[in-house]
Amino acid sequence: MINVTKTFLPPQEEYQEILKRAWDTGWMTNRGVLVKELEVALQTYLGSFSFIAMTNGTLPLQIAIKALGLTGEIITTPFSYVATTSSIVWEGCTPVFVDIHHDYLTIDETKIEAAITDKTTAILATHVFGNPCAIEAIEAIAKTHGLKVIYDAAHCFGVSYKGSSLFNYGDVSSCSFHATKLFHTGEGGALFCKEKYYKSMFSHHNFGHDGPEAFQSLGINAKMSEPQAAMGLAVLPYMDEILEERKNIVDTYNAAFKESAFQLLKIREGTIWNYSYYPVIFKDETELLRVKTALNQESIFPRRYFYPSLNNLPYLNQQNMPISDSISKRILCLPLFVGMNKALLDKIINKLK
């Protein structure tokens, strides 16, 4: 069975060798030596803001909303994974959707100001498939209206925009280190933030502790464990190899579909992309389902990212988002992972053609 992605696993002995360092100390969590080492290594690799390794990629969004003191309405995108919206609702705020760009698939910055009310406190936008939002426009809008900016950057490991890590934009960014991501810790994530927010974010991710016997604020347990950090330290040395192989697969897809009727993702100018996903957009849902069924019959399982459009979630009031509604019904991500061979690529390409 060929799924849309496959977890990259470093040699088991390399993982075990790193994990043994924690094993020998008996320190499995509460920010042991491996978590601290991973944070230093990733900050060097990414050239990013201060950040905190966490146990998954959703808690950073929830912690950001809580730590920034956000209330009322948060403007967001309907085209993302459900965690983007559910984090807003979970923290007692109201998501206000703004439709997306037809080509970039990110929130349409030209429609944001019309959605701002006296209850708006922030913009939570997603860099979709690692493709940056219109960062400069969003920052200008936020500054004019006194809003915070959070980016769901779950797909953005290794992406840079105009010479800087994509994590360095906004007040806070989150990333996922889930096993399906190109860099992973099995399950995990990170919160990136401006230095002035670091202490508060750190406290919130560790039960609100301010030292071992004092508490600064309300908090939750979002700490990354040592076994998770060990996986990250084992995967990190292979990142150049991972990115190169994924680029070659994307280049093969692009060459094959150059003259096709599919709409492909348009990467924003100024971006060094990470080849995280390969979405194709069909002319209608009927065609998508026909292709998906044909691939499934060959034991190939692409994925409908992101479906349904989040404005249709059952626990929300329905909001009309015509572009997101349309794209979500017509978009399919093709298999993309390290280890794909030419025969598999040819089978996928020929079936789509």
Could you check whether the bond before residue 237 is cis, i.e. omega within 30 degrees of 0?
A: no
**What is the per-residue pLDDT for 69?**
97
Where is pLDDT greater, at 215 or 56?
56
pLDDT of 60 > 90? The answer is yes
Closest residue by Cα to residue 31 from 224, 232, 204: 224
Q: What is the pLDDT of residues 132-171, one digit of tens each?
A: 999 999 999 999 999 999 999 999 999 999 999 999 999 9
pLDDT of 1 > 80? The answer is yes
Q: How confident is the model at residue 88 (pLDDT cuts 50, 70, 90)?
A: very high
**What is the per-residue pLDDT for 213?**
77
Please list, residue by residue across 80-93, b when 16 or more beta carbons sit within 10 angstroms of its beta carbon and e when fewer do: bbebbbbbbeebeb
Q: What is the pLDDT of residues 199-233, one digit of tens each?
A: 999 999 998 887 777 787 889 999 999 999 999 99
Distance CA(98)–CA(319), nearest Å, equals: 9
End-to-end Cα spacing for the chain: 21
Question: What is the torsion angle, in degrees rounded to the nearest 10, for the CA atoms of residue 90, residue 179, residue 352 and residue 311?
Answer: 0
Q: What is the pLDDT of residues 234-257, one digit of tens each?
A: 999 999 999 999 999 999 999 999
The mean predicted confidence, pLDDT, of the chain is 96
Give the H or E element holding residue 312. none
**What is the per-residue pLDDT for 217?**
84
Closest residue by Cα to residue 132 from 277, 243, 266: 266
Distance CA(153)–CA(159), nearest Å, equals: 10
Q: Provide CB contacts within 8 A for 8, sequence distance 6+.
A: 182, 184, 235, 238, 242, 337, 338
**What is the per-residue pLDDT for 260?**
87
**pLDDT (average), residues 262-275:** 97
Closest residue by Cα to residue 310 from 145, 134, 152: 152
Write down all domains in the chain, each with its CATH number in brackets: 7-237 (3.40.640.10), 239-352 (3.90.1150.10)
Starting at the edge strand that comes first in sequence, how are the strands of the sheet with 279-281 ordered? 263-264, 279-281, 331-333
Distance CA(249)–CA(243), nearest Å, equals: 10
Q: What is the pLDDT of residues 311-350, one digit of tens each?
A: 999 999 888 999 999 999 999 999 999 999 999 999 999 9
**What is the per-residue pLDDT for 158?**
97
Q: For residues 37 and 187, is the Cβ–Cβ distance under 8 A?
A: no
For residue 87, what are the CA distances in angstroms to 51, 81, 82, 90, 193? 19, 11, 8, 5, 17
**pLDDT (average), residues 188-194:** 97
Q: How confident is the model at residue 117 (pLDDT cuts 50, 70, 90)?
A: very high
**What is the per-residue pLDDT for 5?**
97
Q: What is the pLDDT of residues 276-310, one digit of tens each?
A: 999 999 999 999 999 999 999 999 999 999 999 99
Beta strands in the chain, from DSSP E residues, in sequence order: 2-3, 50-54, 73-76, 94-97, 120-126, 148-152, 160-161, 164-165, 172-176, 189-193, 263-264, 271-272, 279-281, 300-301, 331-333
Q: For residues 330 and 284, is the Cβ–Cβ distance under 8 A?
A: yes
Q: For residues 186 and 162, is the Cβ–Cβ distance under 8 A?
A: no
* 3-state SS string for 51-98: EEEECCCCHHHHHHHHHCCCCCEEEECCCCCHHHHHHHHHCCCEEEEC
